[in-house]
Amino acid sequence: MADEFNVSFIVPCCDDFSFLRECLKALVSLEPMPQIVVSDASRDRTSVRSLCDEFGIELVEFPKPSRGEQLDAGAAIAKGKILVFHHADTDFTQRHYNSLINLFRNDLSVLGGAFLKDIVALYPSVKFFAWIHKFFTMHIGTMYGDQSIFVLRSVFHDLGGFRGLPLMEDVSFSSRLREYGPVKVISPPLKSSDRKFLKDGHIKRKIRNAWLVFLFRIGVSPQKLKKIYYPDRNT
């Protein structure tokens, strides 16, 4: 792989320690190894610091969760030509890495994009919602944070990044990215944990997420939406 395709992964973390070890273990095994930055807003920062030290990972910390700020801060110290914004509870293998690099190698017009996503789920209703998510991604171009959104670093800065939005940063950024130039949604699909569906109830979680996106699109501020999404982290 040529040097011009060097990659930086930015991993936002908020009480995701149970997934973070396997995530970092997978990322450091990629060849050639990318730069990895963890942007953390967990309650237990000591464990995250220790884990990042163990793997030799760069770390930035925040007192409260604010995904846009966390991602922007990680991107600010990223050095790769390609930035990948990757969630800790989502897999990423050498096959995904090769697919990403080959995309930029073979299509010089592409500015960014995301991966298709599957949810590892036992409940049929969760699988159904995952299928709807995949349909919208493939046919409408909707891209969310758990799809490992990727973008050329120069384009990311041209677009102003995630603008520090505490929530809906992925919806805002992917919309601007699609308007800016060619994007691609690629395979193989990522596999993401269904833990949030199990915690909140799979139907309730999906309805809440759809409601938050709707409120954002009609003009409700991300700051207000954050209070709904993180009801126990607003003090």
Using pLDDT thresholds of 50, 70 and 90, give the confidence band for residue 56: very high
Average pLDDT of the residues of the chain: 87
Using pLDDT thresholds of 50, 70 and 90, give the confidence band for residue 199: low
Q: How many CB atoms lie within 10 A of CB 71?
A: 27
Q: Looking at per-residue confidence, does 48 or 205 come out higher?
A: 48
| Percent of the chain predicted with pLDDT > 70 | 81
| HEC string for 173-215 | HHHHHHHHCCEEEEEEEEEEECHHHHHHCHHHHHHHHHHHHHH
Task: Indicate the domain borders of the chain.
Answer: 3-194
184: alpha, beta or left, given left = phi > 0 and alpha = psi -120 to 50? beta
Which amino acid is it at 9?
Answer: F
The predicted structure's pLDDT at residue 209: 75
pTM of the entire predicted model: 0.87
Using pLDDT thresholds of 50, 70 and 90, give the confidence band for residue 228: confident
Q: How many CB atoms lie within 10 A of CB 56?
A: 10
| Percent of the chain predicted with pLDDT > 90 | 62
Using pLDDT thresholds of 50, 70 and 90, give the confidence band for residue 162: very high
The predicted structure's pLDDT at residue 202: 60
Over the stretch 115-126, which tens digit does the pLDDT of each residue have? 988 766 555 655
Contact criterion met (CB below 8 Å) for 57 and 122: no
- CATH for 3-194 is 3.90.550.10
Burial tier of 115 (Cβ tally within 10 Å: 0-12, 13-18, 19+): buried
Q: In the predicted model, is pLDDT for residue 171 greater than 80? A: yes
Contact criterion met (CB below 8 Å) for 60 and 37: yes
* DSSP annotation string for the chain: --GGG-EEEEEEESS-HHHHHHHHHHHHTSSSPPEEEEEE--S-HHHHHHHHHHHT-EEEE-SS--HHHHHHHHHHT---SEEEE--TTB---HHHHHHHHHHHHH-TT--EEEEEEEEE-SSHHHHHHHHHHHHHHHHH----GGG-EEEEHHHHHHTTTTTT-SSSHHHHHHHHHHHHS-EEEEEEEEEEE-HHHHHH-HHHHHHHHHHHHHHHHTT--HHHHHHHH-TTS--
